[in-house]
Amino acid sequence: MINDAASEGPQPAFGADQRQLAAAQFQSANVTLPELWTYYYGIGGNADELALDAYLNGMVELPPLQVNLLHAALKEITADGL
């Protein structure tokens, strides 16, 4: 069966685009790195705060699952207005 990407809704960006999106969301979210990390950790993230900072600044890569959790945390923390 061939998946129709259009029927699945917006697809996430990959690689550098995904990191740049996360960095932009973080900058506009009006939260501190410790607040973001706490939320991310609370939903199952396992990278430490230093690794998140390095990822958001383009210095390291995170495993895809951790990137997805980071994006979920950013989306939720922004929606919650925390």
Q: What is the residue extent of each domain of the chain?
A: 37-82
Alpha carbon 76 to chain centroid distance? 10
pLDDT at 78 over 90: no
The single-letter code of the amino acid at 70 is L
> How many of the other CB atoms lie within 10 Å of CB of 36?
24
What pTM does this model have? 0.77
pLDDT at 60 over 60: yes
Distance from C-alpha of 49 to C-alpha of 38, rounded to nearest angstrom: 9
What pLDDT digit, counting tens, does each position of 18-44 carry?
999 999 999 998 899 999 999 999 999
DSSP state of 58: T
Q: What is the dihedral angle through the alpha carbons of 72, 77, 78, 79, rounded to the nearest 10 degrees?
A: 90
Residue 14: predicted pLDDT? 59
